[in-house]
Structure 1
């Protein structure tokens, strides 16, 4: 009877130790079909924002610039399950023609700007956040890539940063047609799941100590 109970406790402990990763794989991180905001601005051509649906398809909009020109711009996103409670999120802004048309102007961009962040299904920690500006052929414009991980809220709240927006000088009239955002995040265990995991780990440790003590007792008796 004691062995049967002990084995049942061991099985429960093993299940508990696997509970957190299993929960992390059970659902999409960003709520499918939820809305978020994208934003970009040229220091001379003006600012533009749009509400986008997180569904993996390209969405296109018209923007009336301060120069009197009309810009066609799009947004597209993708989510990748990296396994082990980790995800990557990629979002890109696309301009037809270029996003920042006035020569010499500074360009800024943001995701979740103002009041519409990405809608997350669970608590996550930001592990890595990047923003970069790219030319029509997809190549990086003049080293314009930044690691902005330190400016994200922890746990992550779905905004690119905790405040402000990021940009690059002299991108105007350089044929910059894409701004890319790359986020890598990992699951933060919920309190109940964390308690279950810790309980399972404690049972496994106790079992190991019991086993070692039992072997030592047998050796002493001999």
Structure 2
């Protein structure tokens, strides 16, 4: 049992560290004059049409993400897993707030008239998926959520670039930041729950 707890701790700490390190490392690739980096240039903005781009970015649109968030909360509430339901509701919103008020101003990467890094749409979407994966106990559900999230990221990246919403590195940084924050906050929630039980 102790080895299992230690193993889970190592996995969580490694995931948080890797996500945080990637989020902090990506801005080192940004050109001094602003604009797209070499990594961004690898994903051409002309790969999809504007109409298709609108469809591709749909998984990251706020109404879709909020609907998925509420569905995940309902999943736990229907099972009377109240702590998980509340954690599911709170964690993605904290991650989004930290991104909006701390991370974006910290890196101050501007695209047109908005702060672009890390992508807020991506942070919200990935935080919802990561939080659900952290809280659900069914391994198959975790795998399905992870696979669908990766597919969504692959879809939204060219769409966001084509529409001029974000550079691909904004999306990569958003995914890394969201995963690190969601895993860390779920870990904190577990610790608080264990303390309350004690």
Kindly indicate which of the two structures has a greater share of residues assigned to helix.
2
Question: Which has the higher relative contact order, 1 or 2, with Cα contacts under 8 A spaced 6 or more apart?
Answer: 2
* Both structures adopt the same fold (TM-score exceeding 0.5): no
Kindly indicate which of the two structures has a greater share of residues assigned to strand.
1
TM-score (norm 2): 0.31
Q: Which structure would you say has the larger Rg?
A: 1
